[in-house]
Structures are given as structure tokens and as C-alpha cells.
Structure 1
């Protein structure tokens, strides 16, 4: 094999395994991974969540538990390696159902804030190749995609179902590469989905993702559209995910 990234190895004789003793904590199987830190802070201020577990290390982070619900939430790290490692630790704690809640750059015209249920991800990153054999895409369980699609319909949340492009290098999203991904059917670009889909399937847990349309890459000039300041959209999406994660 000419490239190390393509040398898939599914053996379990690894040197480091995630492990946590959570016997003294309430058993929880549902998790929301969100990139909306301000929403997590708002939930804390409103006493809607409490600290469940704080993990110390090079990148400290905290699991919170909803007060009225057996669901955890944490603020995810950017990129497949970091966010994937955090998800591995969550799975080691006993999590069985995971719903990702984030945003990304749009590759096709779409209003800012419009939701996207991810059904597949182009693997233009590295982490997924350590969890799944080389392929062009990672595909989300169609049953989960259907559940999320129907759930958003029931909640009257405007959305589409579609493919994303996962890349490790957002400073290398060239115009030619964006055009190729657009022609391939991608409607969104982000940095985690291919990795997280692969990890979930390798660990045999249920995983889905709902992202919202953020910055715009559809023209010759990038437009941020102030997507990170869309507080109402981001709060609503977390609330929606809290309801839907238990159904996947």
C-alpha cells in the first residue's frame, strides 16, 4: 500500500483504550455533541443542565446532564481527531445514541440557519481511515436519517437531507476543490462528520447529525453571513436535538 492512511487495521490490540468508571453516576445513554458553547452556557445559567463529569487533560472538557432528561451534552472540539477522541470517551462511559448539533459552510444556495440532516460525508480527512476501510464516503444509517427527517417535519423545522464534505484543512478550501465537491453532490463543508460517522459505526453506537447552513462558499467571495451569532437558531437546534436523540 503506497499511502499509510490507506492501511486499514481493524484489530483491537491497541496500546491505549478509553475507560471511565461511572458506577457512582446516573446511567445515561443519550448524548448531544454541540459546537454552540454559548448555548451550553445559557443552559447552565438557566439551571437546565448540571455538571455530570469533568475530564482534565491537554484539552479539558465537561459533560453536562439535562436536569429533566437522561441526556448528556458537551461542547465538542473542532476537527475529527479532537472531537472523535471526545466521542470515544463518551462511548466508553456507556453512551449508545449520539446526535451532533453544529453548522458548516454551504456549497449550494441556502438561507442561513436552514437545517441539514447529514446522510453521508465525503472523506477528505484522516481520522475515518483508522475506523473504516478506504472508501469515497461514509454513509449514515438510513433508518436514523429517516427518523431525523420525520422528526424535523413533525416539529415544523425547515430542512433538507444531504451530503457533506469533511475536510481537515479549512484554509485549503480552494475554488476548484469546492467546485468538485459541489459537482459530487455535497451541499455543506465541515471538519468532523466523516470521522464521527466512522467512529460510531466501528463502536456500534447510533449516530446522526443535524447541521445548519452557516457561511457561504457559493460565490467568488466568501461570506461569513455572521453565522456564529445566530443565537436563536443555535438554541432551537439544541432543543430539537434533545428531543430527537432519544428516538434514533
Structure 2
């Protein structure tokens, strides 16, 4: 647990704020979906009727923000950068543009094969082994998502016919420091998966009072004698495209 920022400052106004970098966009859709797969975003960006409505700017380049009409509802979508700080910067600026509900999805490493293999993972809490969340919520071992939002996403998954499991995840900044001891310790805390953004995304959306849900799909497996990359380096695009549509459905549900 990060102890450096144990004296949490809950002031809403910082020295500079998201609205200083991004102005509100007229007519910005209420629902915004994001994922970390550039291939999926590009695939949907090429669809008929999709338009660019804004852009996120950083030293890494420009990230377009798109608008699509799904089931008669306009939904924004964009590519999130990997890692808690970069992901949260994007979410902050999207909220400044006018997003009122956020759905995030992406891959994760499986820590409990029996519980999570072949199922969508719905994080209900995360061990905060990253730094970003401590700037948005008081210091604690975990961050949690409200039961009402969990119920809504689970109801959507059930309606759409996706098997799922609810559970705690481990949000870490150190992807190459997932040692056997660290994995065993997180499993002992009840974590069924490991990823890099959920704790921070949950923290910033709680701080900004924005309804938020996230779901994960397992790629590499850490619940084995040796690391199993599986589809981590060659993801199944047809599957992840379906998850994009599932995220749209979750957006309508919340």
C-alpha cells in the first residue's frame, strides 16, 4: 500500500485541471466506451457513420475520439493508453469533454484458473499496487466498485449470454515484477486476475462522480508452473470486436 500520499488532499481544484487542457464538446455523447486494443478501435472507426468528434493530445501522439450510433443511441469511444497514469489522463479529459458514463474493458492475466478461465471477469475490488489512485482517494489497501453498478453489468452479461465471474483483481504498475511471491500474496488476498488500470480508473471516476464499469477478459495465465502467454501477443480480433459491442450494451444498461 502506498504510504507517501497518506495525507490525501480531496480538493477538487488542482493547480491546473482537465478543463484547462480540454474544453467541453457540444453534444458529446452521455456514454463513452474505451479499450486498450488499437486494432479494435481502428476497426470500429472505419465503420459507416462513425465520425471524429474530438482528440486527446500527448507526447505519444494524437488519439481521436469517435462517435457511433448503436441501437439508436450515440456512444463515444476512444483508445486508452496502457498503464494507470496514462489511462486516467485520458479519462479525466474525456470527462471534461462531457462524458457522463464510462465503460472500460481490456485483457488481464489470470491468477485463479479455476474461477476465471473462459469467463468475463467483473472486478468488484482491486488491490492498489499502483500510484495513481492515491491522488484520487484516501490511502487504503483496496478500492471497490458500488454494488449497484456491479449488478447492472452482471445483468447485461447474463442477458447477452456471456459467462462471468465477479472477483477482486490486482492492479500493478510493475508488469515485469510479478514475482512468484507477489503472485502468491495477491492470490492469498483473493485476487483472481492481474491488470494495470482498474484501481486508478475506479478511483478517478468515483472522485469525479461518474458512473463506471469495467470488464476484463483473460489472456495470459499466471496460475501455472510456468507463464502461459496464450493469446497475449496474438489476440483474437474477432473475439475482442464482440467485446466492444458488449461494452456498448453495458453502456446502455447503466
Which category describes the TM-score, using the shorter chain as reference length? over 0.9
Q: 1:95 aligned to 99, 114, 126, which one? A: 99
Structure 2 equivalent of residue 169 of structure 1: 174
Structure 2 equivalent of residue 130 of structure 1: 135
Change (3 A) 1:28 1:46: closer
**1:29 to partner: Cα distance:** 1.3
Structure 1 equivalent of residue 186 of structure 2: 181
**1:48 to partner: Cα distance:** 5.5
Structure 1 equivalent of residue 85 of structure 2: 81
| Distance in 1 (alpha carbons) for counterparts of 2:125 and 2:33 | 19
CA contact (8 A) 2:107 2:219 kept: yes
Change (3 A) 1:48 1:236: farther
**1:70 to partner: Cα distance:** 1.4
**1:67 to partner: Cα distance:** 3.5
SS at structure 1 position matched to 2:58: coil
TM-score (norm 1): 0.93
After superposing the two structures, state which structure 1 stretch, 186-195 or 101-110, moved more.
Answer: 101-110
Q: Does 1:29 align with 2:30?
A: yes
**1:27 to partner: Cα distance:** 3.1
| Distance in 2 (alpha carbons) for counterparts of 1:86 and 1:21 | 13
| Distance in 1 (alpha carbons) for counterparts of 2:157 and 2:201 | 22
| Distance in 1 (alpha carbons) for counterparts of 2:205 and 2:250 | 17
Q: Does 1:232 align with 2:234?
A: no
| Distance in 1 (alpha carbons) for counterparts of 2:238 and 2:117 | 12
Structure 2 gaps of 5+ residues are none
After superposing the two structures, state which structure 1 stretch, 189-198 or 3-12, moved more.
Answer: 3-12
Structure 1 gaps of 5+ residues are none
CA contact (8 A) 1:113 1:230 kept: no
Q: Deviations over 1:106-125 (max 9, x none)?
A: 00115765311111111010
| Distance in 2 (alpha carbons) for counterparts of 1:213 and 1:205 | 26
| Distance in 1 (alpha carbons) for counterparts of 2:203 and 2:56 | 24
Structure 2 equivalent of residue 202 of structure 1: 207
SS at structure 2 position matched to 1:46: coil
